[in-house]
Structure 1
Amino acid sequence: MTVALVTGITGQDGSYLAERLLSEGVELHGMVRPGDEASLPDGVHPHRVDLADQAGLRDLVLDVAPDEVYHLAGVSSVARSWQEPVLTAALTGMASAVLLDAALAVQERSGHPVRVVQASSAEIFGDPDRVPQDEGTTVRPTNPYGAAKAYAHHLVGVYRARGLHAVGAILFNHESPRRPPSFVTRKITQGAARVAVDGGGVITLGNLDARRDWGWAPDYVDALVRAARHHTALDVVVATGATHSVREFAEAALAHAGVGDPAAHLATDPAFTRPTDAAQLVGDPTRARTELGWSPTRSFEQIVAAMVDHDLELLR
């Protein structure tokens, strides 16, 4: 039986990944914070370990001795990374070093391969030297979150060179109804639902012209599993290859909620604008398609609709 360890198992991606692995009969271990156990599906073995506890994190990997490690945990908000850059470096960067080194120790002790997937981010490209971005795009982040992810991404290559099946999955933006409200996409769909139910109001956002490559979170989890089990370890961009602006996302959400004249329900506030904001992050998923046999299953419009429908149901 395959044994898997997932960090960040209670987050958006972790929850979909847990359902996927449990359906396959995997012995699943999840790293959780105190009080999070109740949100886990039946069958997950919970482990209370703080991501900042390097010794505890290493012991967890050594004790579980997993065949697969999916590292999803860390500070996941660019805005928060500006507020807490040191914490972001510790939780999003340094923890990856601990996990990779512990996984290599398990592999050397057992003689069996350990497959590690590091959930990287398009934010490592920051100010990209090409559009679209692929696995060869220069890594040059423009915010603390991207810098921490870049450190972890480079470490993947270091440990791969030492014989570990280490995967750098460079995930572009991916959404679902399970996205926390602290993210702009969920803020938009919650706002659209509220405007529809109340019959008025506005959604206040930052840079409406920022463009992103938005995909469907369960699709991206599928890519993580495919990469973990691929015959060779590789870096792989997971993206749709298409971009839409924040304005387009918001207008699509309002329109799906049945709100007339969506533009009239949008406002901007400089307080919600990032200190730096990459103008266009869009991924080239050629390697994911050709090497992993992966492709997106939902369109931009279907993603927005699923999120709005969920938030309308919650309100009604």
Structure 2
Amino acid sequence: MAKAALITGITGQDGYHLAEFLHGKGYEVYGIIRGQHNPKRARVEQEQPFVKLLEADITDTSSLIRAIETARPDEFYNLAAISHVGYSFKVPQLVADVTGKGVLNALEAIRLTGGEKTIRFYQASTSEMFGGLDYNRPGKGYDETALFHPRSPYGVAKLYGHWITKNYRESYGMHASCGILFNHEGERRGLEFVTRKISNAVARIHLGKQDHIELGNLDAKRDWGYAGDYVVGMWLMLQQDQPDDYVLATGETHTIGEFLDLAFKEVGINDWKPYVKQNPAFMRPAEVDILLGNPAKAEAKLGWRRKVDFPGMVKLMVQHDIGLESATSLD
């Protein structure tokens, strides 16, 4: 009998990749979608017709209970969040309710339906929980033992979700694992995120649709991988006999300037500076200068490896957006 998986955040980048991956594994895939007239519903129905959509809300435990009773999942992947770090400073209370307390709601829904011993739970934690503290291990990066010091409402809310998941694992014996994922990008990234903002702008500049792009800090260093690789790690965590927490990362950092270099060179532009303007409005109140992950545990215990390197990811994103913007021009 095919396994069933229930995914919150099905309309996001990771939800898209995970649904596609699990479908390829023969899973019956259910996705939670918020709102009767969610504008993203049509895209999911068109591009992933195999996903069975259930209306529920991560802030409403009763609706999650109904979704669990309908799907009867073997695995529950909680990807729901307000995940834009900059935006979290503008709506901190909403971020706390969705990104933080939403995790508690999901865990409680599993417990109240009697699924604490049968449903395996994945919580999407984040490198933003580290926030720059304890960076006294040059070249090694953050691993599962590093200290947390989140520097945004998003990071703080994610840290609550991380710890409440560990608490339910220890209190109720739940097979609940946390994936501490470093930045992972791709063609499904929202346009509000800097990497996709760059790849889309480069495509539009290449096609003559715009003449520049406005960005904030160009010097921040991030450990960037491809989202399609990272959802495989999520799945591998729930296949283990015992639940645990794992860092997924590439083990290397790149600046936004390096991303710009590769993206513009993909369209034959060697000097991007005339096309980029810095705008103070895109600066964060508290910036994390560098995030470098150490995926040694995931590589050793899960056998996980990233397949797409940094240049390959940038190329994939720019070429996707050139195709997307070219198609839009023909409409």
The bucket for the TM-score relative to the shorter chain is over 0.9
What corresponds to 2:122 in structure 1?
117
Aligned ranges 1:168-187 → 2 under 5 Å: 168-187=178-197
Q: Tell me what 2:329 maps to.
A: none
Deviation at 1:128?
2.5
Which TM-score applies when normalising by structure 1?
Answer: 0.95
Residue 238 of structure 2 is aligned to residue 228 of structure 1: yes
Aligned match of 1:26: 27
Say yes or no: does 1:152 pair with 2:161. Answer: yes
Do the aligned partners of 2:189 and 2:196 also contact (CA within 8 Å) in 1? yes
Q: Aligned pair in 2 of structure 1 residues 262, 199: CA closer, same or farther (>3 Å)?
A: farther
Which deviations, in whole Å up to 9, do the C-alpha atoms of 1:86-128 show, x marking residues without a partner? 000000011100111222344xx36852110001111111123
Instruction: State the distance in 2 between where 1:194 and 1:111 align.
Output: 49
Letter in 1 for 2:164: L
* C-alpha distance in structure 2 between counterparts of 1:206 and 1:110, whole Å: 45
CA contact (8 A) 1:104 1:114 kept: no
* 1:180 and 1:186 in contact (8 A); partners too: yes
Q: CA deviation at 1:200?
A: 7.5
Given that residues 250 and 306 in structure 2 are in contact (C-alpha distance below 8 angstroms), is that contact kept between their aligned partners in structure 1?
A: yes
Post-superposition shift, 1:186?
A: 0.6
**Any stretches of 5+ residues in structure 1 without a counterpart?**
none
Q: Secondary structure at the match of 2:246?
A: strand
Give the deviation of 1:244 after TM superposition.
0.3
Once the two structures are aligned, what percentage of the paired residues are identical? Answer: 39
Shift of 1:39: 2.2
**Distance across 2 between alignment mates of 1:223 and 1:262:** 35
Q: How does 1:73-84 map to 2 (within 5 A)?
A: 73-84=80-91
- Deviations 1:12-36, CA, capped at 9 Å, x for gaps: 1101111111122212111012334
Deviation at 1:58? 3.2
- For 1:209 and 1:92, the matched residues in 2 are separated by 27
CA contact (8 A) 2:61 2:108 kept: no
1:101 is aligned, of 94, 108, 132, to 108
SS in 2 for 1:192: helix
Offset at 1:269?
1.1
**How far apart are 1:285 and its partner, in Å?**
0.3
> Is the contact between residue 9 and residue 80 of structure 2 (CA under 8 Å) also seen in structure 1?
yes
Q: Which stretch shows the higher mean deviation, 253-262 or 192-201?
A: 192-201
Q: Deviations over 1:127-163 (max 9, x none)?
A: 2303411101111111100000000000111011121
- 2:277 is paired with a residue of what secondary structure? strand
Alignment match of 1:267 (pick from 264, 277, 286): 277
Aligned pair in 2 of structure 1 residues 275, 24: CA closer, same or farther (>3 Å)?
same
SS at match of 1:4: strand
CA root-mean-square deviation: 1.6
Residue 64 in 1 paired to residue 64 in 2? no
Question: Residues 275-303 of structure 1: CA distance to partner in whole angstroms, max 9, x if unpaired?
Answer: 11111101000011001000110110000
TM-aligned CA deviation for residue 80 of structure 1:
1.3
Unaligned 5+ residue runs, structure 2? 327-331
What's the secondary structure of 1:198's corresponding residue?
A: coil
**SS state of the match for residue 28, structure 1?**
strand
When residues 9 and 200 of structure 1 are mapped into structure 2, their CA distance, relative to the original with a 3 A threshold, is closer
Number of residue pairs matched by the alignment: 314
The letter for the 1-side match of 2:41 is E
Query: Which residue of 1 is the match for residue 132 of structure 2?
Result: 127
In 2: Cα distance, 1:256 partner to 1:90 partner: 41
Instruction: Show CA shifts across 1:24-78 (max 9, x none).
Output: 2212111012334322212222111122223222332244331100000110101
Measure how far apart 1:84 and its partner are: 0.4
